[in-house]
Amino acid sequence: MTEYLVETAKLTKIYGRRRAVDDLDLRVRAGEVYGFLGPNGAGKTTTMKMLLGLIRPTSGTAEVLGAPPGDPAALAKIGMLVETPAFYPYLSGRDNLRVLARYAAVPESRIDAALETVDLSSRDRDRFATYSLGMKQRLGVAAALLKDPDLLIMDEPTNGLDPAGMADMRRLMRGLGDAGRTILLSSHMLSEVEEICDRVGVIFQSRLIREGTVDQLRGGGALQVTADPLDAAELVVKRLVDADHVTVQDGRLRLRTTREDAARINRELVVAGIDVLELTWAERTLEDVFLEMTTERPTEPVTVGRPDPNERDVR
Ligand SMILES: Nc1ncnc2c1ncn2[C@@H]1O[C@H](COP(=O)(O)OP(=O)(O)OP(=O)(O)O)[C@@H](O)[C@H]1O
């Protein structure tokens, strides 16, 4: 059996003249939390719907749990949260799960564990209508967990939640990952995938443009050098490291190199008669990487909204 729970090859969906998803090769390994990262409209929801058999691809193939999308036996082992989950407003959270358990033919004994996992045990007898958005979303996760699924597919699970609700949901997702669940989740927030995910696939304008672990995508850090005169310093460092890896930002040089290079670079600058005023090491964030990836492309710019200074949002 393949090591991948999800595997697509050249998966494509075309609506009219619009390529919503283009030639997508995506692989999700057993036991990982895979973040499908991209701005709104990049094609995340369309991909997830194809994986669940809700819409048909225009071309290309997909296998989910070793079966074609929509295969009933495979669907029985997939927990999903795609679009707002529908619950009966006048039933309690627990009774809603009872209805679903009966419908999915799973034992009611799973309900307690699911409520516990999403931290709703103390509010289980309250009516769904009285739940906060975060609680409603967590009940959606509990519903997805009822089947004790091999794979969870979650489309923007934190979408629309307030900061506290987002933090709860992220903790929940990471906790499920730590407990060994395989999760494919989509997000437009860099900080979110950085916090939750083991591996990330970046989708931009319908195509997967990069895939790797968060560390691989970050590709190490950057050495920041404040020197005088700066232009002479730039010439010196461009002889020492790949010139493409040297940029000038905010009046200082930013070098994509290794931390160990710092001493050598400092020495060479001093020997060249340049004053080195400051030399610091900065970890690259996924935001840096995402901006590099997307601005390399001659396409419309991605706006980086920041509703919260701690939140990096690529909508
Ligand atoms: N049923 C449809 N008919 C026509 N175009 C569609 C349809 N569904 C999606 N699209 C288009 O396909 C593209 C990808 O949409 P999709 O919803 O998959 O993006 P997304 O990355 O999930 O973004 P969002 O976070 O906004 O949902 C968009 O341009 C969208 O307008």
Q: Kindly give the residue spans of alpha helices, DSSP state H, lying in 118-189.
A: 133-145, 163-178
Centre of ligand 1 to C-alpha 51, Å, is 15
Residue 248 CA to residue 112 CA, distance in Å, equals: 56
Q: What is the pLDDT of residues 55-66, one digit of tens each?
A: 999 999 999 999
- Helices and strands (DSSP H and E) totals, the chain: 11, 14
Residue 291 CA to residue 132 CA, distance in Å, equals: 34
Q: Which two tokens stand for residue 29?
A: 């390994």
Closest approach atom of ligand 1 to CA 188: 25
Do residues 191 and 310 touch, judged by C-beta distance below 8 A? yes
C-alpha 229, offset from chain centre: 41
Q: Name beta bridge partners: 208.
A: 203
> Checking phi first, is residue 155 left (phi over 0); if not, alpha (psi -120 to 50) or beta?
beta
> Could you give the residue range(s) of every CATH 3.40.50.300 domain in the chain?
4-217
Centre of ligand 1 to C-alpha 44, Å, is 8
Domain 4-217 - what CATH class? Answer: alpha beta
ipTM of the modeled complex:
0.94
Q: What is the pLDDT of residues 247-287, one digit of tens each?
A: 888 899 988 888 788 899 999 999 999 999 999 988 777 77
What stretch of H or E contains 201? strand 199-204
**Helix, strand, coil distribution of the chain in percent, nearest 5:** 35, 30, 35
Residue 65 DSSP class: T
Centre of ligand 1 to C-alpha 173, Å, is 24
Centre of ligand 1 to C-alpha 97, Å, is 30
Note the pLDDT of residue 219.
73
Amino acid at 268: E
Q: What is the pLDDT of residues 25-53, one digit of tens each?
A: 999 999 999 999 998 888 999 999 999 99
Q: What is the pLDDT of residues 139-188, one digit of tens each?
A: 999 999 999 999 999 999 998 888 998 999 999 999 999 999 999 999 99
Centre of ligand 1 to C-alpha 55, Å, is 12
Closest approach atom of ligand 1 to CA 13: 12
> Could you give the residue range(s) of every CATH 3.30.70.980 domain in the chain?
220-283
Centre of ligand 1 to C-alpha 64, Å, is 21
SS3 for 86? coil
Q: Name beta bridge partners: 152.
A: 79, 183
Do residues 164 and 122 touch, judged by C-beta distance below 8 A? no
Average of per-residue pLDDT across 6-15: 96
The model's pTM? 0.79
> Checking phi first, is residue 57 left (phi over 0); if not, alpha (psi -120 to 50) or beta?
beta
Pairing status of strand 221-228 against strand 275-283: antiparallel
Centre of ligand 1 to C-alpha 149, Å, is 27
In the CATH hierarchy, which fold is given to the domain comprising 220-283?
Answer: Alpha-Beta Plaits (3.30.70)
Residue 310 CA to residue 200 CA, distance in Å, equals: 20
User: Mutate which of 45, 82, 83 to test ligand 1's pocket (most atoms within 8 Å of Cβ)?
Assistant: 45
Closest approach atom of ligand 1 to CA 39: 21
User: Mutate which of 22, 46, 192 to test ligand 1's pocket (most atoms within 8 Å of Cβ)?
Assistant: 46
In this model, does residue 306 exceed pLDDT 70?
A: no
**Residue 39 Cβ < 6 Å to ligand 1:** no
Number of other residues whose CB lies within 10 A of the CB of residue 113: 14
Note the pLDDT of residue 91.
96
**Residue 12 Cβ < 6 Å to ligand 1:** no
**Residue 14 Cβ < 6 Å to ligand 1:** no
Q: What is the pLDDT of residues 191-245, one digit of tens each?
A: 899 899 999 999 988 889 889 888 888 777 788 999 999 999 999 999 988 877 8
Specify the residue for token string 């390529």. Answer: 19
- Of 85-89, 121-125, 291-295, minimum mean pLDDT range: 291-295
